[in-house]
Amino acid sequence: MSTVDQLVARTLGIPEDRLTADLAYQSVREWDSLGHVALMVALEQEYGVEVDDDLMLELRTLDAVRAFADGLAGTAADGSATGAEGAGRTGSATGSDSVSGTASGGVDGPAPATAPAVTVHRGLEGVTFDHSAVTLIDGAEGTLEYRGYSIHDLAEHASFEEVAHLLVHGHLPDPAALEVFTKQLRAARTLPAPVLELARTLAHAHPMEALRTCVSALGAYGPHRAAGTDETLDEAREAGIELIARIPMIVAAHHAFRSGREPRWPREDAGHAEAFLTVLLGEEPTPTAVRVIDKGFVVHADHGSNASAFTARVAIGCRADMTAALTAAIAAFSGSVHGGAAERAIKLVDEVGTPENAEAHVAALQSRGEPVMGFGHRVYRTEDPRMRHLRASVVELSEERGDRTGLDVLDAVAAAMRPRQRHGVAPNVDLYAGLSYRLLGLPDDLAVALFVIGRTPGWVAQALEQHANNVLIRPLLAYAGPRGLTYPSGAAR
């Protein structure tokens, strides 16, 4: 095996027999976005070169990596300049693979006589499937805007209710419109008795399991439409506003039940964050807690066509109703590589222990090919713009409690990860989120559910946009299995 093949196998943590000609970025689980960064760093260390962003985009297949390494070896042998420029470029800069549709991976069976080549975009990477006026994300610049408003302005100055109105209705509310919207949210907080009882019976379950189940159950207690009729756009919007109000109550009531107490319902005039915390904690929350939770909800309110928002769009595009679409979004969001990462990131504080251990812990994870949770993002090539606001909340809470241990640990991990930032592995929204909730006295397993509460207006807005100008989302798969097999005689029936 060549030196570069050994490096690829070692870095990705895969056996040598998997180093086939069709091995490429996203073609296997191990060669994900973080694995790709690890591979680029390994190439830099092995060959003493700098892999810039353009080259990183090109080195997305095993063949391209081999050619790159061969080029470096060739330039070194003839005495000319070595490095990225000396090695030359490797061809395609896309994240796609051309496949013929023939059988691969050792699958037996006749291949088709002719199979037109198709371009496969694994994970739909780089595919723009529609226009949107909801959220702008510029991954290169680290920009995030909700309907034209910077996340920085909104996080510092807007309430969650204002941001929810902005996303759902398309514009910031004036005082009169905000009052109407706030009254709608307050009126919708009450949960149907059977759903509340369901939350009680699920006291043993993880908050995300209980939330997904109870939100699905809400669909049985909404307005009943005549058979064969679809939810109108106005009906979908009303259902979405109800879900924005009710999802926090489900999370909070479930937590009350699993804590062995009955929910304490909020004052009628309580704001969104205050109402949630009252039920969650069973007591009036502090102004600091309300402010931190409200800012967290604003920061999480939408993030473009991420996996859960895309799931909601697919569901609503099939003319499922809003409750079904958000149930699907919650199911997608619960996954460990999507929203579930928020719960895993807080474990860094416990695993590292002290700031002095940060570098060794990061090095140990990287040597095993494991990701450092709370770093890297599929979109951002620089610091996640949401992160600074959550860190600011952690700073405030840490100083208020006179304990900076967790903050210092995460800051030390961020410093240890700094060499990878130029490859796009910078702190993301998950790094400090869980610690802010822990400092409020909340259990770690609520981190993802709190993220959902904030994200609900964004899902509603994305689903409404899909509803208003719908097209059934139906991507294709490039078949790569056997064809033309003959059913064996005498087979069991």
- Is 294 one of the annotated active-site residues of the chain? no
| From 377, 389, 423, 467, active-site residue | 377
Q: How many CA atoms lie within 13 A of 378 on its CB side?
A: 14
CA-based nearest residue to 240, from 222, 252, 224, 227: 222
Q: What is the separation, in whole angstroms, between the first and last Cα of the chain?
A: 47
Q: Which residue has the tokens 């259990």?
A: 443
Distances (CA, A) of 426 to 208, 376, 381, 420, 422: 27, 5, 8, 7, 8
Residue closest to 454 by CA, chosen among 329, 323, 360, 286: 329
Name, in order, each residue with C-beta under 8 angstroms of 423's C-beta and a sequence gap of 6 or more: 37, 40, 41, 51, 56
- Name the E strands within 193-288: none
Catalytic residue chosen out of the listed positions 384, 430, 444, 467: 430
Q: What is the rounded CA–CA span in Å between residue 390 and residue 326? A: 25
CA pair distance 194, 192, nearest whole angstrom: 6
Question: Catalytic: 377?
Answer: yes
* Distance (Å, whole) CA 324 – CA 286: 35
For residues 489 and 110, the answer to whether their CB atoms sit within 8 Å is no
Alpha-carbon distance of 165 to 186, in angstroms, equals: 14
What sections of 51-94 are H helices per DSSP?
A: 53-58, 62-77, 84-87
* Residue 456 contacts residue 215 (beta carbons within 8 Å): no
Residues paired with 98 in a beta bridge:
119
In DSSP notation, 378-439 reads SS-SS--TTHHHHHHHHHHHHHHHT--HHHHHHHHHHHHHGGGGGGT--B-THHHHHHHHHH
- The long-range contacts involving 394-397, CB below 8 angstroms and separated by at least 24 positions, are 394/432, 394/435, 394/436, 394/439, 396/288, 396/292, 397/288, 397/292, 397/436, 397/439, 397/440
> 390, 451 in Cβ contact below 8 A?
no
Please name which of 480, 369, 375, 413 lies closest in space to residue 30, comparing C-alpha atoms. Answer: 369
If residue 150 lies in a helix (H) or strand (E), which one and from where to where? strand 149-150
- Just list the catalytic residues: 377, 430
